[in-house]
Chain A
Amino acid sequence: MAFNHYILVCGGTGCESSNADKIYKNLKAAAEGHNIEKDVQIVKTGCFGFCEKGPIVKVLPEESFYVEVKPEDAEEIIGEHIVKGRPVSRLQYREAGKENAGIENISFYQKQVRVVLRNCGFINPEDINEYIARDGYAALEKALFSMSPDDVIEELKTSGLRGRGGAGFPTWRKWLFTKQVEDADQKYVVCNADEGDPGAYMDRSVLEGDPHSVLEAMAIAGYTVGASKGFIYIRAEYPLAINRLKIAIAQARELGLLGDSILGSEFSFDIEIRLGAGAFVCGEETALLASIEGERGMPKPRPPFPATKGLWDKPTVINNVETWANIPVILTKGGEWFAGIGTESSKGTKVFALTGKINNSGLVEVPMGTPLRDIVYNIGGGIPNGRKFKAVQTGGPSGGVITADNIDVPIDFEHLQELGSIMGSGGMIVMDEDDCIVDVAKFYLEFTVEESCGKCAPCRIGGRKLYNILDKISKGKGTAEDLEKIQSIGHAMKRASLCGLGQTAPNPALSSMHYFADEYRAHIEDKNCPAGVCTDLVRYTVIEDKCIGCGLCARKCPVSCISGEKRQPHFIDQDKCIKCGECFNACKFDAILRK
């Protein structure tokens, strides 16, 4: 027999440390006290996020959401809510004085609004019927039979959708430029699926979970701008996404949703896949188009923009996967609905790939303007092992850091730019106190140097120079002039590089220097790495008073540089030590000093 109620007690690390276990036991005892243990099941769950408001208790099926529950509240939850059916209002979560405008019926505690990811994890991506059942191809149907191309552009304009590839250019305007070219015998529609930022994988997830949404949107664009051919440029490292796209294209063709005279209308449109070899620069639109044409993927100066002179010099609409995935919803639910989500200048939602030092890593889709604090603490579940939050890198190798001081700034295109970062594709890498900011900046520079195509000197030479300076600083050989050099080289690259890769490559270094100047100075002046990451600046020594001589560190040491008698303080041979930190992690008595 099934239960009438289910009580879920969050058992994440955060709630666990604030008495969740006691709450769980008290609830069970209270249920038994009322003789209703047969009607209600009480379980502990995985982390619900929302750790700031923990411990969390949720009651199903009515979905009551209780926050900051204390063990002594258990009796009231059982007695009032379960027995008498009156939810305990003083414990219920309330939004602090704000309602998400435009979405009245959104569940009151959930921070996420899933527009782009609406079907991911729910439909079978390899079965077109399931997509159709979820209003799939209804937007294409609407466009073809009840809207003119101008209507579609007007709807996009109302929605306020801006490009999700990172730069945020208004999508309607891009489409309009292409539509307005009249003397072209051929136009193209291109999907940029060359997601290359370290730590970003939202485009991959959309293509793996809901490939038809991209196909449908591209067909709508074809109808709107007068293009009959589309290309999806996707990196070969995404075999599963490629496979599902192929299946989706085949199924759409079979049903006549792609191909000649779609749904019996006069509009014909077909899509082909082009594989990229995984060069980061090929995510830049002009380099991407060169790559589709079979050239080496290198950027070209803009203007002319692809919208008027793109693939094989024909007018080309090129948008990123996430931008495409928004479009069917905008047509089916209306631009007004979409514009009701987000901020004044940035409408809709943004998908972030939350990774790094965070409890609940994963894909997060939130309305634009959501503060970072909500993402890190309410959805991400905070920092593991009780470490301190240090910063978040947004926008990957082209972006910058957001520090604890700015954790309440609403995240949208403008605010991120003000902070010296960018929206970028939506990678969000969380760092804690154990991450060295110089090391992180060096990592990104290493990446952009590796990925620079070498066409223009500022990026090719400047990037390498920047990397060398950072490397020097991380080895304790930096000087005060080096910081000035980073500034001047960085700003020159920003001004003179040919494409976005070079223009934004200095961002991680410039941004981290701006916010963590003291950490750079510690590396240069004190020859010290506060986080203990830069191996050349770290020394591990045994604190003799604390060492009990258990020998655990010696057993863990991979180079056997620790010696000592049993029950006597041990000793680390600095000449042999490779500074791996194994001893530091192994010691249970904090007897190893790292500095």
Chain B
Amino acid sequence: MAKLNLEALRKLREENKQALEIRDTENKTIQIIIGMGTSGIAAGAKQTLKAFTDLLRERNLTQVSLRQAGSIGLDHAEPVVEVRMPGMPDIIYGKVDPKVAEQIIEQHIIGKELLNEHVFDRPARDIVQD
């Protein structure tokens, strides 16, 4: 990558802003965000990530992008996964082991229904978007 000047940085920011909103650049409209901080990993987030990777490949769900992030701070509910998709509210799921990961794919992504017992509250509003 070339070194950025001021113009290039601004351009890059605009491009990425749209991409972060919805990654339709590759036709990916659904995002699954997995918390991969130390507390998430300690609670088994790596296994959860692997389960999602395998499931998406098996079911050929090409419109789903898997993203990794740091910890959202809900340590008691780790592994924490956020699902964002059109037509559904953004939902944070807690205590997502490989089995629950499968339920999320089946029920939330394909069936457009929320899972029972795994929804957690968003800790705070996003000050960057406000």
Q: Which A residues fall within an 8 A CB radius of B?
A: 1-3, 6, 8, 11, 41, 43-49, 58, 60-61, 105-107, 110, 112-115, 117-126, 129-130, 132-138, 141, 145, 201, 204-205, 208-210, 238, 240-241, 254-257, 259, 263-264, 329, 333, 359-365
Contacts and interface: CB of A to CB of B under 8 A. Distances in A.
A46 B127 contact: no
B20 A133 contact: yes
Interface residues of B, number: 56
Contacts of B94: 46
A237 B2 CA distance: 34
Nearest to B72: A121
A132 B76 contact: no
B50 interface: no
A60 B122 CA distance: 12
Contacts of B126: 114, 118, 122
B75 to A, nearest CB: 4
Contact of A205 (B71, B118, B121): B71
Contacts of B38: 201, 204-205, 208, 238, 240-241
A315 B51 CA distance: 51
A133 B17 contact: yes
B121 to A, nearest CB: 5
B75 A363 contact: yes
Contacts, number: 189
B127 A118 contact: yes
A11 B67 CA distance: 28
Residue with the highest number of chain A CB atoms closer than 10 Å, among B73, B74, B114: B73
B125 A120 contact: no
A129 B5 CA distance: 15
Interface of B: 1-6, 9-10, 12-13, 16-17, 19-20, 33, 35, 37-39, 41, 67-77, 80, 82, 87-89, 94-95, 112-128, 130
Contacts of B6: 141, 145, 263-264
Contact of A45 (B33, B68, B80, B117): B117
A43 B12 contact: no
Given A107-B125, A256-B4, A124 B69 contact: yes
30 contacts: A2-B112, A8-B114, A41-B114, A46-B77, A46-B118, A48-B121, A110-B124, A110-B125, A115-B127, A118-B128, A120-B37, A120-B71, A122-B33, A122-B69, A122-B126, A123-B20, A124-B69, A130-B20, A133-B16, A137-B9, A141-B6, A141-B9, A208-B38, A208-B71, A209-B37, A257-B9, A263-B9, A264-B5, A360-B76, A364-B73
A259 B2 CA distance: 13
Contacts of B88: 2
B73 A46 contact: no
Q: Is the interface of A mostly helix, strand, loop or mixed?
A: loop
A192 B60 CA distance: 46
Contacts of B114: 6, 8, 41, 43
Given A46-B94, A132-B13, A113 B124 contact: yes
Contacts of A122: 33, 69, 72, 82, 126
Given A43-B114, A61-B89, A132 B12 contact: yes
A119 B118 CA distance: 23
Contacts of B68: 124, 126
B91 to A, nearest CB: 8
Contact of A105 (B39, B124, B130): B130
Contacts of A106: 125
Contacts of B116: 43-44
A582 B106 CA distance: 43
Given A132-B13, A201-B39, A263-B9, 8 more contacts: A11-B117, A46-B77, A121-B69, A122-B126, A135-B13, A205-B39, A361-B76, A362-B75
Contact of A120 (B13, B67, B69): B69
B21 to A, nearest CB: 9
Given A121-B71, A255-B1, A114 B9 contact: no
Contacts of B121: 45, 48-49, 58
A47 B118 CA distance: 9
Nearest to B80: A121
Nearest to A259: B3
A205 B37 contact: yes
Nearest to B112: A2
A243 to B, nearest CB: 11
Contacts of B41: 240
Nearest to A62: B89
A205 B5 contact: no
Residue with the highest number of chain A CB atoms closer than 10 Å, among B16, B125, B127: B127
Contact of A361 (B75, B95, B115): B75
A114 B117 CA distance: 26
Nearest to B35: A121
A186 B47 CA distance: 48
Contacts of B70: 119-121, 123, 125, 205, 208-210
Contact of B5 (A41, A118, A125, A263): A263
